[in-house]
A = this chain, B = another copy of it.
Amino acid sequence: MQNKTSDIKVAVDAIVFGYSKKEGVSLLLIQRKYEPYKNSWALPGGFVLADESLETAVIRELQEETGITVNYLEQLYSFGEPDRDPRQRVISIAYFGLVKTSQFRELKASTDAENAAWFSIKKLPALAFDHKQIIRQAVERLQSKIRYQPIGFELLDKKFPFSDLEKLYAALLDKEINRRNFSKKILSFDFLEETGELSKPEGKGRPSKMYRFNQKRYKELLKEGFHFEI
Whether the pair B53, A8 counts as a contact (CB closer than 8 A) is no
| Chain A contacts with B in 5-23, Cβ cutoff 8 A | 5-10
Whether the pair B50, A78 counts as a contact (CB closer than 8 A) is no
Helix, strand, loop or mixed for chain A's interface? loop
Q: What bracket does the count of chain A residues touching chain B fall in?
A: 20 to 34
Residue of B at shortest CB range from A80? B54
Q: Is A93 an interface residue (CB 8 A)?
A: yes
Whether the pair B81, A78 counts as a contact (CB closer than 8 A) is no
Minimum C-beta distance from A133 to chain B (A): 14
Minimum C-beta distance from A97 to chain B (A): 16
Bound complex: CA of A82 vs CA of B54, how far in Å?
Answer: 9
Bound complex: CA of A9 vs CA of B9, how far in Å?
Answer: 8
Whether the pair B75, A53 counts as a contact (CB closer than 8 A) is no
Whether the pair A51, B82 counts as a contact (CB closer than 8 A) is yes
| Chain A contacts with B in 79-101, Cβ cutoff 8 A | 80-82, 89, 91, 93
**Interface residue ranges, A against B (CB under 8 Å):** 3-10, 47-54, 75, 77-78, 80-82, 89, 91, 93
Of the A-B pairs whose beta carbons lie under 8 Å apart in the complex, a sample of 22, sorted by A's number, is A3-B50, A4-B49, A5-B9, A5-B10, A5-B47, A5-B48, A5-B49, A6-B6, A8-B9, A8-B48, A8-B50, A48-B80, A50-B89, A51-B89, A52-B82, A53-B80, A53-B82, A54-B80, A54-B91, A75-B77, A78-B93, A80-B93
